[in-house]
Amino acid sequence: QKEVEQNSGPLSVPEGAIASLNCTYSDRGSQSFFWYRQYSGKSPELIMFIYSNGDKEDGRFTAQLNKASQYVSLLIRDSQPSDSATYLCAVPPGGGADGLTFGKGTHLIIQP
Amino acid sequence: SQTIHQWPATLVQPVGSPLSLECTVEGTSNPNLYWYRQAAGRGLQLLFYSVGIGQISSEVPQNLSASRPQDRQFILSSKKLLLSDSGFYLCAWAVNTEAFFGQGTRLTVV
Q: How confident is the model at residue A1 (pLDDT cuts 50, 70, 90)?
A: low
Q: Which residue has the higher pLDDT, B42 or B101?
A: B101
Residue A36 has pLDDT above 80, yes or no: yes
Residue B61 has pLDDT above 70, yes or no: no
Which residue from A43, A46, A98 is facing B90, i.e. has the nearest CB? A43
Residue A95 has pLDDT above 60, yes or no: no
- The mean pLDDT value for B41-60 works out to 89
DSSP string, chain B: --EEEEE-SEEEE-TT--EEEEEEEES-SS-EEEEEEE-TTS-EEEEEEEEETTEEEESS-SS-EEEEEETTEEEEEESS--GGG-EEEEEEEEETTEEEE---EEEEE-
Q: Which residue has the higher pLDDT, B61 or B69?
A: B69
Chain A contacts to B (CB-CB under 8 A) = 32, 34, 41-46, 49, 88, 90, 92, 96-105
**Which conformational region is residue B94 in: left (phi greater than 0), alpha (psi within -120 to 50 degrees), or beta?**
beta
Tell me the C-alpha distance between A83 and A99, whole Å: 26
Tell me the C-alpha distance between A50 and A91, whole Å: 10
- The mean pLDDT value for A30-52 works out to 94
pLDDT of residue A82: 97
Q: How confident is the model at residue A98 (pLDDT cuts 50, 70, 90)?
A: confident
Cβ pair B99:A102 closer than 8 A: no
Residue B41 has pLDDT above 90, yes or no: no
- The mean pLDDT value for A45-62 works out to 95
Tell me the C-alpha distance between B32 and B44, whole Å: 17
Cβ pair A100:B57 closer than 8 A: no
Measured between beta carbons, the chain A residues lying within 8 angstroms of B36 are 99
pLDDT of residue A96: 52
pLDDT of residue B94: 86
Residue B7's closest CA among B85, B110, B106? B106
Q: How confident is the model at residue A20 (pLDDT cuts 50, 70, 90)?
A: very high
Cβ pair A46:B100 closer than 8 A: yes
CA-CA-CA-CA torsion sign (A79, A85, A91, A92): negative
Q: How confident is the model at residue A93 (pLDDT cuts 50, 70, 90)?
A: low
Length of chain B measured in residues: 110
Cβ pair A99:B94 closer than 8 A: yes
Measured between beta carbons, the chain A residues lying within 8 angstroms of B104 are 42-43
Tell me the C-alpha distance between A52 and A70, whole Å: 12
pLDDT of residue A89: 96
- The mean pLDDT value for A27-50 works out to 93
Give the minimum alpha-carbon distance from B16 to chain A in angstroms, rounded to a whole number.
26
